């Protein structure tokens, strides 16, 4: 998976090294960080675009993010697509969670799933929440899931 900065600059080191450098830099500058990870997708005519983001929030001082984009030609229903988004977020969270523990940085996994039953994405809510929580991560859904519903969303449109 290729990670980029919001500017579009490709990250040539591993995302783990990049996140560690960012944590060291930001904590040296006196910021307390929190990491939010989310994935969103957009169905196009013959494929689905996915964007996964790692958002590093500086307490009361904005934040920045890293983005990985992928395409899939698999045909899938909305529930399957929502759970694939969650899987991508969990894989990313899992790859950096030990590092975040070392530096005592809180982590949340955000799912672009609506808590309102009148929305189609709600069909995947229970499974997604169970999946994320069973992995030991803090779970946020819409409207609190800004990493997936705002940050990642901008990268797939």
| 37-52 tens-digit pLDDT | 999 999 999 999 999 9
Residue 120 — very low, low, confident or very high, per pLDDT cuts 50/70/90?
Answer: confident
Q: What percent of the chain has pLDDT over 70?
A: 99
| pLDDT greater than 90 at residue 143 | no
What is 3-156's CATH number? 3.30.420
Q: Are 85 and 50 in contact, with CB atoms under 8 Å apart?
A: yes
Domain spans of the chain, in order of start: 3-156
Residue 149 — very low, low, confident or very high, per pLDDT cuts 50/70/90?
Answer: confident
Report the pLDDT value the prediction gives residue 27, as an integer from 0 to 100: 96
| pLDDT greater than 90 at residue 20 | yes
| 74-116 tens-digit pLDDT | 999 999 999 999 999 999 999 999 999 999 999 999 998 888 8
Give me the phi and psi of 71, to 5 degrees please. -120, 145
Q: How many other C-beta atoms lie within 10 A of the C-beta of residue 35? A: 26
Q: d(Cα 54, Cα 101) in Å, to the nearest integer?
A: 16
Name the nearest CA neighbour of 52 among 120, 148, 154, 142.
Answer: 148
Distances (CA, A) of 44 to 78, 102, 151: 13, 40, 19
Residue 148 — very low, low, confident or very high, per pLDDT cuts 50/70/90?
Answer: confident
Residue 21 — very low, low, confident or very high, per pLDDT cuts 50/70/90?
Answer: very high
More confident residue, 117 or 37: 37
Fill in the DSSP letter of residue 150.
I
């Amino acid at each position: 998976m290729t990670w980029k900065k919001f500017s579009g600059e490709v990250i040539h080191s591993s995302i783990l090294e990049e996140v560690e450098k960012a944590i060291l830099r930001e904590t040296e500058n006196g910021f307390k960080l929190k990491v939010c990870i989310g994935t969103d997708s957009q169905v196009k005519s013959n494929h689905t675009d996915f964007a996964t983001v790692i958002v590093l929030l500086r307490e009361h001082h904005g934040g920045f993010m890293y983005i990985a984009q992928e395409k899939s030609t698999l045909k899938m229903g909305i529930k399957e697509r929502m759970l694939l988004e969650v899987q991508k977020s969990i894989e990313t969270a899992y790859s950096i969670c030990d590092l975040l523990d070392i530096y005592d940085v809180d982590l949340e996994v955000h799912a672009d799933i609506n808590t309102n039953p009148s929305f189609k994405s709600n069909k995947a809510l229970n499974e997604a929440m169970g999946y994320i929580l069973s992995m030991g991560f803090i779970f946020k859904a819409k409207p609190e899931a800004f990493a997936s519903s705002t940050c990642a969303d901008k990268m797939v449109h």
